[in-house]
Structure formats: C-alpha cells, structure tokens
Structure 1
Amino acid sequence: MRRLSVLILAAALLCGAPAAAQTAAQAPRPEGAEGTVHREQVWRLSHNADEGREIAAIVFRPAGDTPRQLVVMTHHTSGDAARNGEPRHGVYPHVVSWFVERGYVVAVVHRRGYGLTGGERAERFACRRPNHFAAGRADAADLSAVIDGLTALPFVRKDGVIAVGQSTGGWAAAALAAENHPAVAGTINFGGGRRGRAGDTGQTCALDELVRDARYMGRRARTPALWLYTENDQSFGPELTRRMAEAYRSAGGALDFQLLPPFGRDGHALLPNPGGIRIWGPLVEPFIQKFR
C-alpha cells in the first residue's frame, strides 16, 4: 500500500510539473531595471488569444506601490514600415507625464507586428472585402491581453482601466469599447480609423466602410467612449467622422463625440503634438474623473 501511495504521489508531481512551468511562463515579467523618468520599464505579457505570442508594454508609474488605475495607450501606424518597428513607437512623453502626474500607471502597448512586440501583424485587410471591424477587434485583443496581465500585478488596480489610442490605435480603443471588458471603465479615441490602400493603384479605399463598421461597434459597445477629432484631420475628415459617430450612437453605443477646431497643419497630430494638451486636456480630464 505504501509503495502504491508513493507511485501515485510521483505521478501527480510529474503531471503537475508542466502545468506549474506553464503558469510561470505565462506570468507577466519585467525586462531590466526601472528607469529614472516615471520608473519606465518594459514588461512582457502573454497573449491570451494568440497562443505562444507575447505583447510588449512600456510601463510608467508614480512613486510607491499603492495600486493605481491603469491607462493603456496604443499607437498609430506609420506609412514608413521601418518606423513601425522602432522600440519607442507611440511613446508620447508629454501624454505619459500628463497621466502619471494624475496618479495613473501608463502602459504604452505595442500591438502585434509593431515596436518591441514585433512578429507578424494580427490585422488583415483587403480593399475588395474591407473589414475594419475585424482589424479593430484583433488590435483590441492585444489591449485586453495587457490589461489582463497588468491588472494581476499588485501595483495596478483591477478596475477603472482607461484605454487611449491614436489613429489606428484610436480605432483599436473604439473596438475595445465594443468588447465590454469588465476592467475597462472608458475608452478615448484620438483621430481613430483605418485607411485601406489598393495595391494595384495605390489609391485610398474603404473609408465608407468605416461608417458601416462603426455601426457594428456601436451595437455591441456599452463601455463609455470619448472620440476626439479635428476639423482639419487630413486622414479622417469632418464629414466622415460625423457619419461614423452618428452610426455608432444610433446603434446604441455610449459616445461623447467632439469635433474640434483646426489644429496645426494637420489635426491628426492632436495627441502626438505637445501643443495639443491645452485642447484635449480640458475634455479628457472630466471624462476620466468619472471613473476615479
């Protein structure tokens, strides 16, 4: 009997070892020491919807280890492919500081195919069969993976997450609102959208489909959303963005849409440009205060 018990215990340990190793491998892990500015540190997080993939997030946070609300921020897509692979792609220091100074942990998320995450992009698009909604959901899955990983850490609150995105990242934030993630309190879309380009002609395509797919998002979305666009956005003009917002709202999405006056030469740079804070700050502040 004793020998049988030993054999059963040995079998249990052997079966449990891979599971324990797998759990350890999936735990969020930092790379290197914290930096001197806002404790900057790269974290690697397992992707919960793409087996074997990891997402990189550059994390910034205030002093101390008190659990803080999380802001996940994600980037645009550059027309220059090399720039999309830069290790600090989408890190806007003035935006990071604005949130950290208000007590948030900020995670700049490099989606699959970009920056420190690298590898193959999750987005798929064809002008003949455009599906901006599917591309947005793929990017939203990257944000969800980071949210799930970081909210498990002791210095991050498990609720009240704010998602912020610029351009294609703004569209990802809009798509995240439609996923109704339980930890996400609100999303902020700066100049969000996607622009297809025909391979044979090089012409921009499928902008009208943004309206259609904004409607799809609105049908699902119950997470409060703030959309900020400018009248001189050279990527997504005011007539188009009004239609997108109306489609989203009429389908049931909870949306505060703000079409702002012209900003600089191209209002699409409202978030990346430090001068934009004086315009978006007074709008973002009351939106995020609702979730403190």
Structure 2
Amino acid sequence: MGVLGLLLSPAAADPALPGLVREDRLISVTRSDGSEVKLETMIVRPDRPGRFPLVLLIHGTNPATGQAFRAAAARQSPVDLLNPAVAFAQHGYVVASIMRRGFGRSEGPFAEALSGPCDDRDYLAVGRIAAEDVTGAVATLRGEPWVEPDRVLLMGHSTGGFAVTAAAASNPAGVIGVLNFEGAHSSVPGRACSPDHLMADAGIFGRTARIPALWIYSENDQSAPPALARRMFAAYVASGASAQLQVLPPFGVDGHAMLPMGPADIWWPAVENFLTRLRLPTSLVVELPPPAAIPAPTPLNAACTMYFDAYVKAWTDIKAYAWNREGHCSSITSTQRTVDDAKTEAMRQCVAAWKECSLYAVGQTLAPG
C-alpha cells in the first residue's frame, strides 16, 4: 500500500476515454487530530509521462432526507463528477474526485449532519468538517509523482462548493485557485434554510482566504439561486477575499445540475478565462472521439431536449434516459454505480412525475423495444 492507499482498480488506459488513464483508489488522509481516514477517489489524467496541475473535485450532497439520506449518501460515487473530470484531464490536468467521510465507500461516520431548526442552521461547523477532508486530500495528493505540487485547484459543486470555500480560508499549501460551482447548503429540498447564516459564513471564510476564486452559478438554480449567491459573494469579497462571480444561462429545469449533468462547453469558457489569469493550461491536449450519435425521441420539451444533448455527451455508459410520448423525460447520467441502477432510477423519476414512461436509451444505445 503506497501513499494513495488501497487500490480499487489499477491505473489503466480507459478504452472509453482513449488518451486518458483512470483509476479508483482509497486515499489515506490525515485529520487535524492526527487520525487517518481513507476516502474513495477516482483519478483521471492524461496517458503520458510527466507531472500535471491537480484539480481536486468535491461533490455535493444527495437531497434525500430522513432515513433515506444515509442510503443515498452511500450510493454517491466519485463518478458523479466524471464529466468535469474528463474536461480537465483533456486539457492537461490530473483530476482527483473524492468522496468525503460518510459518502460512497469512504471511511468514517457521516460527519456533516446539520444542527438546529431550518431558521437557525449551523453551516459553519459542517463547512469546516468538510474542509478538513479537502485539505487532507490535497496534502496527500501533492506527493504523487504525476502531480505538480504547487499548481493545485480546488473545485466543488453545491455543498462541495461550500467545502472548498471553507478550505480556502486556511490557504492550503500548493493551492493557487478555487472554483466554486453553485456552492451553498439546501437542507430542505429546493430551498436553503437560514440564508443569512450562509451569507455570514461566507464572510467568515473570506476574512482569511487569499486564494483567487471564481464562483459560478446558473440563472435557474433552484437550490442555490443567484440572489443567494450574490449575497454570499458580496459578504465573501467584503471580508477581503479575491473572487469573481459569474451567473450562467439556465440549464434544464434546475440549473443546479449544470456541472454534473451538463456538457463542459456550457461552463468551460468562464473557467478558461480564470485559468488563463492563473497561468494554468487551457489548450486541449487529449482530443476524444465524439460519442456515438443517438437520434432524439420526438416530441421533447425544451428542457428535455437540453437533457438529451447532455445525455449523449456524458462520458459514461452507466446512464439511462426515460421518456413519455408527451415529451417529458428523466435523465440519469452521473448518480448511479451500475447500469441497472441507472435504468431503475430513470424510470422511477419519470413515472413519479409523468405516470406513463418507457426507457428510451441505456448507455450509448437505444433501449430495446
């Protein structure tokens, strides 16, 4: 067992991603009290020798509540952020998508339970707990032979965006930039509890953060709406942090899914400008063949047309698209560990919303029948 810990799958060229190497590991990170915990990690990097800038990807939190939450957290996977991982690896980065404690196959009890009623939630404590996993992973991965240890980006989605913002407050060694995608906490599905606390916490993080950051949100984000993002951002920069905010056009019916579900060309131009300012790579070094074309079902409403385009472009075969003849849909591209799970979840969501549905596509092919 080396620095990265237990091997889940060996490093190997991925036939679905020619020119890239993918491996799955449990990496060992050291916590502030000196104890160690192993975090499930997916690594994607160019299939060539040398060192590369590191992007550490940090996931969001499944919106399930009650007893269903723990099961949903266990089902989460580093592959949830495969699309952005591939986009960065194509541009010459090594990407590590980690699962925080209590998520996926990572060790440790779930440590991010929110305390207090909806109008008095304590986000600061859970942000700092999540940040401990982030900074621990950075310290471990900087020692790898394929990482440029002083060119590290933190990139988080949703609660992961909140986590990397919290981590930036301690200015971890080697980290030169932070990408916060739709960072917030939606402790009640569809809305944020205690938004004033989120704003205040952003200000607390901003007091000590000195790493340049880019905050990216979507106009139709239902969990982290732009109005909340602007308040948090204003508090962050007013405290002295260096950051920029960009609000992108709507994605589907809920822009909160933009990063995990949407194709990279939606958000890459904004990120590219940020990378250029940091003097980080922006040129394409691994050009992948386009995914096999799939004819779209008809009819499709506007949101489902966007989802279908994202479905076809998603760099995974563990995906399924369910549809009904009125043009409604459910697209699962990044939240399940097996094809059967993706099929089941696509149908479950579609039937729950639209009653009569059928599978239209599984993986990169049309479903039989």
**2:42·2:78 contact (CA, 8 Å) conserved in 1?**
no
- The structure with more strand, counted as a fraction of residues: 2
Partner Cα distance (2:41, 2:225) in 1: 31
How far off its partner does 1:195 sit?
Answer: 2.4
Counterpart of 1:126?
A: 115
Matches within 5 A, 1:1-292: 27-31=3-7, 32-37=9-14, 38-49=20-31, 51-80=35-64, 81=69, 82-86=71-75, 88-89=77-78, 91-128=80-117, 130-197=121-188, 205-275=193-263, 277-289=264-276, 290-292=278-280
Change (3 A) 1:268 1:204: closer
1:241-289 C-alpha deviation (Å, 9 max, x unpaired): 11111111111111111122322211111101233x2231101012123
Change (3 A) 1:90 1:136: farther
1:139-167 C-alpha deviation (Å, 9 max, x unpaired): 11111111111111111111110111111
How far off its partner does 1:234 sit?
Answer: 0.3
Partner Cα distance (1:274, 1:249) in 2: 28
1:215-251 C-alpha deviation (Å, 9 max, x unpaired): 1011111111110112211012222111111111111
1:193-230 C-alpha deviation (Å, 9 max, x unpaired): 112349xxx99632221011111011111111110112
Change (3 A) 1:57 1:203: closer
Partner Cα distance (2:131, 2:30) in 1: 12
**1:177·1:224 contact (CA, 8 Å) conserved in 2?**
no
How far off its partner does 1:118 sit?
Answer: 4.2
TM-score, normalised to structure 1, is 0.83
The root-mean-square deviation of aligned C-alpha atoms, in Å, is: 2.2
Q: Give the fraction of aligned pairs with identical amino acids, expressed as a percent.
A: 35
The higher radius of gyration belongs to 1
TM-score, normalised to structure 2, is 0.67
**1:45·1:145 contact (CA, 8 Å) conserved in 2?**
no
Gaps of 5+ in 1: 1-24
